Structure 1
Amino acid sequence: MSYMDATIDVPVTGHRFRPDFTKFMNWALVWILLANIPFMAMWMVGAPPRTIPIVLAGLVGLIVKRMPRMVQWIAFVGVMVYSLLSFVSGLFSLTLDSLLYSLQFFAEIKPGDSIEYIAAAVVIFGILIGSWFLLKRDTNFSRPLYILLGGALIFGLVGADSAVGEGMRGHYFRPAPVGATFESAVNKSGFADRADGQRHLVLIMVESLGVPKNNKAMSDKLFAYYNSSAVKERYEVSQGTSLYYNSTTSGEMRELCGRWGDYYELLKTDDPKTLDCLPAQLAEKGYATQAMHSFKGPFFKREDWYPRIGFQKREFAVDLEKRGAEWCGGVFAGACDRQVPKMLAENLKRATQPTFQYWLTLNTHLPVPTEQNLNAGNCEKVSVELARDYPMICRQFAIFDDIDKALIREITASDFPEADILLVGDHMPPFFDRHHRSQFDPERVPWLYLKAKGSTPKG
């Protein structure tokens, strides 16, 4: 090879290297950085594990890098949609199937009432716009070395995601494993065993009521009002915890139907064994069965499956508001929970037969705003420590306090009929950030059982 040949070959080799590396960097900017950066930003506060979305984004990017820009952008949008759904399902302890099934009810909620949801929507929308312009650049690199480097970036990001979330993995993705031992507050407390027709039975499922973990301020507040002499004069008070999986409707299945599962299986069958839940069992024993919920009946199709499992009467937000309940806002806006105990008591006082009264609360659904008639803005009155260190938890406890005070006022009244009352959480509160979320046991919910001493007639 001549000297002249050498001087020609070197620049050509350099020319081939630089453009291909630029293409690789363009690809990594979109499919590694942009596809993951909003979720990486959550590392500082805590987030569900994202192994599959990270790998999926990288692999899809490698597949479509030589395709037309529009195809690449549609693929990017698809990756972002999947990543977002996966993130939300993990955050709220839903399976992806359950979340997809729930999307049909999106119109029933008001995410615009939450600054967190508005900010998230702005960020995602901005990323989609940014990706359209970034994909103008050529991403079709060809050198095998860069493909290997792309794989290294993908799995390096997976490793970083896993390392950052270490210690919080049990807080996310909690479907019941096959063969999981069943337990519930209804079973552990002995609540259902008291169905002898001599008293009413009241089951209250409290939205996002979790078990405090190494937080004395929260532990001291939880169920504290039920230690009063007025309560103990009429009830034997006991409490404990129960295992939970998934979200609210799974909690309802746990306590009402005595098994792990979710509500949509109740809509797909006429099998008497599947529908043989606590309301139906109590109805067979002569109990009137009533359900109350402070939100809309169509949401999660409760107006359809409640009667299928034996609830003879149902009252939802519109019914409770007609009876005098005020409107309370938030992402899930509905009737104010603090006014429902009075209506619950009225139901039992006018009952002509033993009654099973179920109530699913609403207002402590996250995120809890400071206004919107929730009476949670000045939560220093609840706990100065919680207001300072855990403001969102403090706002939840402000609502819990209002519910507890209203309920105790009714159940200790001289004209309140004899009733056993069981309160239980549906799931731990699914806070976005590690700081708040880590204050709760990720596996268990609390329950409190008020067993009537039999000092008053049943109605």
Structure 2
Amino acid sequence: MELALPRIDRRERPQGLRPLFDWLLCWLVLPNAAYWLLWIVGGPPRAFAILVTGAVGILVHRAGFGVKFAAFLACVFMSAMLFIASLFNLSIWSLVHSLEFAAELKPSASIEYIVCGVALAGTLVAAWRLLRRPTVFARPIHIAAVISAVLIAASIDSVVTASSRGSYGRVPAEGAYFTSAVGKSGFAGAAAGKRNMVLIVVEAMGEPADPALRSRLVNLWARPEVRARYDVITGDTLFYGSTTKGEMRELCGRWGDYPELEGRKDAGCLPARLAAAGYGTQAWHSFKGTMFDRSDWYPNIGFQTMRFGPEIVAAGASRCPGVFPGACDRDVPQQIAAVLKASKTPQFLYWLTVNSHLPVVKSELLHTQDCAGFDAGLNAELPMICRLFQLYDETGRALAKEIVAKDFPATDILIVGDHIPPFFDRYDRDRFQPDRVPWILLKARPQS
């Protein structure tokens, strides 16, 4: 007689475990998988986003599909905002505020942003399907299991991203030591009403960690013909935050950000002090003045006139593509030189560049389609940094052409970076000091 034994399907999960596995898939794997794949190349720490998403998933595990999907969308949005803010050293407030200018940006110009968009769409489509599955925990021990899994995932993220944590989300502590290129170089103290002063803040110009690469960077701005007419002094300074914080550092001599200047004047900022001393004060930016409300707060710190991307293009500059499309930086020095030559009084001219905003795309219009022609070795090892340096080179060459001309008036020129280049790739990002930016002072020698 044969015994009829039950057949066991090894693929079957024990009773009650399927909702647990589905919860882990929906609230741990799905919202984090794309970021985990990026661990291979780099990225900012995400432990907080992992913990918050896990906590929300636990709170809604008994809810219906609509509530779960809405909660998932909120977590995805929160996670993306934290990631972008940390990557670009932006405060969440600044990032949220910048969303109103999204229509002015061109993320489709970058393959990196296109890939991110596809990954986001895929995540949301998968969530639309998977969140319909029941995720109600059958036993209290299952809640303990998912909490443990979330904590483990957050801990692994902290370990994996530990080496580059210092270059992300840099915010000064209360009473943090202050330093700036304007202060360290003696640029501000050189104003005596007899020569022009030009301050150039270069987008994404960080301090190279390798001395040879740093020397290469300095020489892009201080070329042999420039050194023949100017004394060249170099150094570095601390940075915190994004571009607007870099502007506050150099223009107003403190750690801060532009919202504190909206609606009120600050007579202590460098442009205001120089205006009071008889200088004409001008602010130039190769992008639109509406971005981060620059056209509103620049006058509050003492700028008497302003020129932004549209006006610079209207005056003859070409338009350059990128995520932040604007006037070509290489065309701006000619316009600046013309203004300084025509001025009857000493001028303080401030210029914020834009073309080197990452990611720098390959483009014929941007002159970055063939970086091997600029530096084959750098292009082979660090192609993204090569394109960045190629833009510095073009702007530096255009600047040199103007400032060594015989009829260019006596002018001191300070060139400084705003923040580290926010490369996503860990290998590229580690080529720069995590907390410093370089400065180069070109001090005009008396002409015989």
Band the TM-score falls in, shorter-chain normalisation: over 0.9
- Matched residues, number: 439
How far apart are the structure 2 equivalents of 1:354 and 1:128?
57
Summarize deviations over 1:40-66 as a string: whole Å, max 9, x none. 111011111111110011111011010
Counterpart check, 1:56 vs 2:52:
yes
1:337–1:446 CA distance, 2 compared to 1 (3 A): same
Counterpart check, 1:29 vs 2:25:
yes
Counterpart check, 1:172 vs 2:146:
no
Task: Tell me the equivalent position of 1:438.
Answer: 430
Counterpart check, 1:333 vs 2:328:
no
TM-superposed deviation, 1:170:
0.4
TM-superposed deviation, 1:407:
0.5
Counterpart check, 1:256 vs 2:251:
yes
How far apart are the structure 2 equivalents of 1:24 and 1:400?
53
How far apart are the structure 2 equivalents of 1:117 and 1:215?
32
Local SS of the residue matching 2:447: coil
How far apart are the structure 2 equivalents of 1:230 and 1:56?
56
Task: Tell me the equivalent position of 1:429.
Answer: 421
TM-superposed deviation, 1:166:
2.1
How far apart are the structure 2 equivalents of 1:20 and 1:455?
86
How far apart are the structure 1 equivalents of 2:175 and 2:276?
30
Counterpart check, 1:311 vs 2:306:
no
Task: Tell me the equivalent position of 1:134.
Answer: 130
1:153–1:419 CA distance, 2 compared to 1 (3 A): same
Match of 1:243 among 223, 238, 242: 238
Q: Is the 8 A contact 1:65 1:140 kept in 2?
A: yes
Structure 2 counterpart of 1:266, one-letter code: L
Task: Tell me the equivalent position of 1:230.
Answer: 225
Q: Is the 8 A contact 1:30 1:131 kept in 2?
A: yes
Q: Is the 8 A contact 1:266 1:275 kept in 2?
A: no
Task: Tell me the equivalent position of 2:403.
Answer: 411
TM-superposed deviation, 1:228:
4.2
Structure 1, unmatched stretches of 5+, are 1-15
Local SS of the residue matching 1:55: helix
Which aligned pairs between 1:290-439 and structure 2 lie closer than 5 A?
Answer: 290-439=282-431
Summarize deviations over 1:376-401 as a string: whole Å, max 9, x none. 11112322221001111100111100
- TM-score w.r.t. the length of structure 1 is 0.93
1:193–1:56 CA distance, 2 compared to 1 (3 A): same
1:164–1:26 CA distance, 2 compared to 1 (3 A): same
Local SS of the residue matching 1:160: helix
- TM-score w.r.t. the length of structure 2 is 0.95
Match of 1:211 among 207, 212, 218: 207
Task: Tell me the equivalent position of 2:150.
Answer: 154
Q: Is the 8 A contact 2:329 2:395 kept in 1?
A: yes
Local SS of the residue matching 2:433: coil
TM-superposed deviation, 1:453:
1.5
Q: Is the 8 A contact 1:328 1:372 kept in 2?
A: no
Counterpart check, 1:112 vs 2:104:
no
Q: CA RMSD in A?
A: 1.7
Counterpart check, 1:453 vs 2:445:
yes
Local SS of the residue matching 1:19: coil
Q: Is the 8 A contact 1:211 1:440 kept in 2?
A: yes
Structure 2, unmatched stretches of 5+, are 1-11
Local SS of the residue matching 1:18: coil
Summarize deviations over 1:88-137 as a string: whole Å, max 9, x none. 00100112122112222111111111111111011111111111110111
How far apart are the structure 2 equivalents of 1:228 and 1:331?
29
TM-superposed deviation, 1:229:
4.3
Counterpart check, 1:187 vs 2:179:
no
Local SS of the residue matching 1:222: helix
Structure 2 counterpart of 1:296, one-letter code: K
Q: Is the 8 A contact 2:205 2:419 kept in 1?
A: yes
Local SS of the residue matching 1:167: helix
Which aligned pairs between 1:268-307 and structure 2 lie closer than 5 A?
Answer: 269-270=263-264, 272=265, 274-307=266-299
Q: Is the 8 A contact 2:220 2:392 kept in 1?
A: no
1:104–1:275 CA distance, 2 compared to 1 (3 A): farther
